Structure formats: C-alpha cells, structure tokens
Structure 1
C-alpha cells in the first residue's frame, strides 16, 4: 500500500481551448473536473495501476467534499482531516500543442491545531504503507520545516519517504534524509542556486542534494527524460510521447510508477518513464492505466550522455 500526503489539495478544472488570447472569449472544446494536488495525483495513478492507496488530505467546504467523492469513485481510500477553511479550486487551459496555462489558488490557511492533527494522522495511520509520498506546496500556516518533521516521524514508524516539493520546504527537509526526492530541472536549479544547461549539470546538482541528505534523487527533465542518482548507481532514461495533450499531473504519474515498481533502481526508473510518457498523452490530469503504458519504448542506461544539452535549460 502507498500512502500519500497532500497538505494543499485542490479541485482542478481543465478546459481544452483551440488557442489562448488575452482578453478573448474562449470556447472550450472539452472540459473535465478532477481531484488535484501532487499527492492526490500520485494516489490516482497508483489506484489506476490496481495498487492499494490511501490519500491523507486536509479538506474543507464543498470543494473538499467533492474531492473525497471523486477519489472514492477512482478507488482511492481517503483519510480526511477536517479544516475550517475551504479547499482551493484551480483552473487549467490546455491548447492543442500541449501548452498549458494554469491558475492556482493559494488555498486555505491551516490553524496550528489543524497542522498538528495532519501530522498525527499520518503518524498513526494503521495501513503499514510500503511508501509514504509527501507531495506539493505547503499551505499558509505550515512552516517550511513541516515536511522535515513529517519525514522524521515517518522514519520513526519504519516507513520509506518520497518527497516531491520545492523551495525552502525541500531544503529544510533534506537533513531528515528522505529516501527519494523528485525535483524537476527548474526546482533542482533553484535548490543549488545555479543554472543547469546539460545532463552533466543535472548530475552534479543531484549529487549535491544527496550530500545534503537525500538518499536518492529522481530528476524530471521534461522532454529530455529522467535521471536517477542513488547510492546503487546513476541511471538515465527516456520515453517517447507520440502526442502531448496535457502535462498536468505527468510528474505525479511518474512518481507513482517509480514507487509501484519498488522505488529503487533502473526498473523503477523505467516504470516512472513509462507512466510519465503515458500521462502527457491523456486529457487534463487523467492518470494512465496499464493499457496506456508502452514499456517497450522506454530506454534506460548507465552510460550517461553528460554533454547532452537540455531542451529547456533551467535558470535560477
């Protein structure tokens, strides 16, 4: 079982539009409503793969109730921590070429007692998860060190931790030694404070974060694939996507694939790549099922092309 923790979940509305023009009246060609938030998406992808998962969420108001209902319909068990504020709603506009414009609401502010209850709910969960995935931004009211405390408590309970966050929350959590972190190339550049232009730059940055405490780094490089840097060795992989419809939740689907396959080594990296490539070919934040995967198209190697220039270099 894989447990996910999403401190700042959302109700995501995605509209497919022919083009995006400032000030225009846009007529959507398709729309969907999904439960959102990085950890929520990980749980949805895990459930789509037929693996048991529980999502721990602070939920409030009508959007929170709808998130729980939608997740239940997708086979995700929900452990809700009731909050006084209303869960946020986000909007995404997807164009045919894959360009995505997102409007993310800030979300409610959690009171100190709500923050403490969320931590305690994770610590006392009785599902004996193989992994706990802690994902996304922290809502107002939670200090950057909140994830570090969660990692420490989970380790005390004997669980392995995957952390997908950025900025001060990521840096504060590294000394707690999360088992794997999953930054994208831009988050990685921000963490080390320098631009990243090649795969070699990414490797050096990932090794730096490992030196600061992360036991493994799974770096998402967009169209350039993914890099896994761990004590067992470094691996680089790619997976083609024939058509890009939406990249919403693709990184989360990738993390789900990584954890489903054990969360370590080249086989887990290959699973992450297959899930990520499948996700970008689906509408909105739809999560791939096993039928959507093309594992035969994935390529993983230990022979890293360090001079490979990144399609989208990351600036600080």
Structure 2
C-alpha cells in the first residue's frame, strides 16, 4: 500500500474562460471542483492506475467535509484529521490560449497541541504501507521541520518516504534522509544554494553533486521539458511525449504518483521513470488537476524517452 499525506488539503476549483480580464465582470463557461492538494492529487492518480492507496491529511470546516465526501464518492480510501478552521480553496483559471492563473488560499492554522495525533496517524498508516508520500506546503502553525519529524516516524514504521515540497520545509525535511525528493528546477536551485544554474549542463552537474551531498535520490522536474534524475551516482534525462496540453496543473503530482506506484510494484528504475513521465503527460490532457485516464498513460508510455547521461 501507498499512503499519501496532504497537510494543507484543498478544494481544487477550475474556471474555464475565454480570457482573464482584470477589473471586469466575467462569466465562467465551465466549473469543476474536486478534492485537492498535492498528496490528494497523487492518491487519485495512484487509484486511477490500479494502485492500493490511502489519502491521509488534515482538513477543516465545511470545505473539509466536501473533501472527505468527494474522496468517498471517487472511491479513494482516506483517513483525515479534522481541525478547526476552513480548508482552503485553490482556484485555477484557464483561458482559451492555454494560460493558467492560480489563486491559492492559505488554509487553517494547525494546532500544535495536536501534533502528537498527527504523528500517531502517520506512524500507524506507515506500518501498513511500503511507501509514504509527503506532498505540498505546510499549513500555518506547523514548524519547518515537520516533514523531517514525520519522515522519521514513517521510516521507523518501515516505510520508504517520498518528499515533494519546497523551501524551508524541503531543506529541513532532507535532514531525515527521505528516499526520494522531487523539486522543480526553481526549487532545486533554491535548495542547492550555489547561485543561479544558467543552463542544463550546470543543472546536471549540480544534481550529481547534490545527490552525493544529501544522500538521497533526486528528480528535478522541468515542466514540458521533462525531468532529470540522479540516483546512486547515475544520471538520467527524461523527455516526455509531445502532447497538446489542456491543463498542466497537477502534472508534477501525477509524476510523483507514477514513481511511487512503480517503486511499490518493484519496477526497474527506468520503467518507473517512464511510468511517472507518462502519468504526468496524461494529467496535462485533463482539465482537472490530478486526473489521468489509464488508456492515455498506456498510450504515452512508449513515447517517454529515458536516456542515461552518466
């Protein structure tokens, strides 16, 4: 089983417009609203690909009730901790030119006096899981070392850990030595801390040094340009299939889902990277974040190119 953890769960709402014009009243052509947050997106994709998954996390208020009810309706097993306050809404405005504008609410404040409950929840689920995926931002009220403390709890219970976050939460989380991290290029540059990486050659060199320095497996996602992966002294260039993207939001979460599912199934590294890439591309074909069709993933699998560079 895989457990995904979303500490700042959300309702992902998407508005379709012909164009976003500020300062004017506009009518939305189409609306979708689904439970979201990076870990929930990953859980949905794992479920859609036939994996055994539980979506864990923190919710609050009426929005939290919607998130729980929607996960149930979608057939996604979940264990959610409820706190006071209102879970956030993340609004994505899509226009006819393919541009995406995101407006992200902050979400509720986590009460630190209940942190022990959260650790117990993660430890219990990790004891039933091969992999625990920690994804997304930390809610207000939780310290920067939260993912490090939860990673330690998960690993003590015997699970491998995938960490997909950014900033101080990622830097502190690395101290607990997760098995994988998945920053994007900007997040990696901020984490690595040796100044701007001017081109892919500089990024490749930094990845090899960083993997040795941090002692973890690293995938740096590059949006439509694919990804780079540094694993046990080897480096891979990942090139995605060419598609006509509808909505790229959530593709990074789908990549994480594919990689975690492949690892849970014991697939070879190259095959896992290919599945992750196909899942990310399939997500971009959907108007909703964290949603893939299995037939799209299967069609895109052979079109994902994985090249070993070093």
Q: Report the equivalent of 2:275.
A: 271
For 1:89 and 1:206, locate their aligned partners in 2 and report how far apart those are by CA, in whole Å: 34
SS in 2 for 1:217: strand
For 2:215 and 2:126, locate their aligned partners in 1 and report how far apart those are by CA, in whole Å: 26
The counterpart of 1:290, out of the listed 290, 294, 300, is: 294
Q: Report the equivalent of 2:32.
A: 32
1:246 deviates by 0.8
SS in 1 for 2:198: strand
Tell me, yes or no, if structure 1 residue 254 matches structure 2 residue 261: no
> Given that residues 126 and 157 in structure 2 are in contact (C-alpha distance below 8 angstroms), is that contact kept between their aligned partners in structure 1?
no
TM-score normalised to structure 2 length:
0.93
Q: Report the equivalent of 1:308.
A: none
1:125 deviates by 2.2
1:2 deviates by 0.8
Q: Report the equivalent of 2:223.
A: 222
Range with bigger deviation, 108-117 or 181-190: 108-117
SS in 2 for 1:196: coil
For 1:286 and 1:124, locate their aligned partners in 2 and report how far apart those are by CA, in whole Å: 26
> Given that residues 178 and 213 in structure 1 are in contact (C-alpha distance below 8 angstroms), is that contact kept between their aligned partners in structure 2?
no
SS in 2 for 1:75: coil
For 2:100 and 2:133, locate their aligned partners in 1 and report how far apart those are by CA, in whole Å: 25
SS in 1 for 2:263: coil
For 1:146 and 1:101, locate their aligned partners in 2 and report how far apart those are by CA, in whole Å: 29
SS in 2 for 1:189: helix
For 1:120 and 1:98, locate their aligned partners in 2 and report how far apart those are by CA, in whole Å: 43
Q: Report the equivalent of 2:184.
A: 184
Q: RMSD of aligned C-alpha atoms?
A: 1.6
For 1:72 and 1:212, locate their aligned partners in 2 and report how far apart those are by CA, in whole Å: 42
Q: Report the equivalent of 2:9.
A: 9
How many residue pairs match? The answer is 304
Q: Deviations over 1:44-100 (max 9, x none)?
A: 000111111101111111100110111122221110112112211121101223211
Consecutive unaligned residues in structure 2, runs of 5 or more:
none
Consecutive unaligned residues in structure 1, runs of 5 or more:
305-316
SS in 1 for 2:134: strand
1:277 deviates by 0.8
For 1:35 and 1:73, locate their aligned partners in 2 and report how far apart those are by CA, in whole Å: 11
Q: Which has the higher helix share?
A: 2
Q: Report the equivalent of 2:162.
A: 162
For 2:258 and 2:133, locate their aligned partners in 1 and report how far apart those are by CA, in whole Å: 12
> Given that residues 245 and 284 in structure 2 are in contact (C-alpha distance below 8 angstroms), is that contact kept between their aligned partners in structure 1?
yes
Tell me, yes or no, if structure 1 residue 94 matches structure 2 residue 100: no
Q: Deviations over 1:153-198 (max 9, x none)?
A: 1111110000000001111111211100000111111112322232
> Given that residues 248 and 280 in structure 1 are in contact (C-alpha distance below 8 angstroms), is that contact kept between their aligned partners in structure 2?
yes
Residue correspondence of structure 1 range 1-316 to structure 2 within 5 A: 1-125=1-125, 128-193=128-193, 194-231=195-232, 233-262=234-263, 265-293=269-297, 294-303=300-309
TM-score normalised to structure 1 length:
0.92
For 2:42 and 2:138, locate their aligned partners in 1 and report how far apart those are by CA, in whole Å: 17
For 2:61 and 2:131, locate their aligned partners in 1 and report how far apart those are by CA, in whole Å: 29
SS in 1 for 2:11: strand
For 2:213 and 2:119, locate their aligned partners in 1 and report how far apart those are by CA, in whole Å: 24
1:127 deviates by 6.0
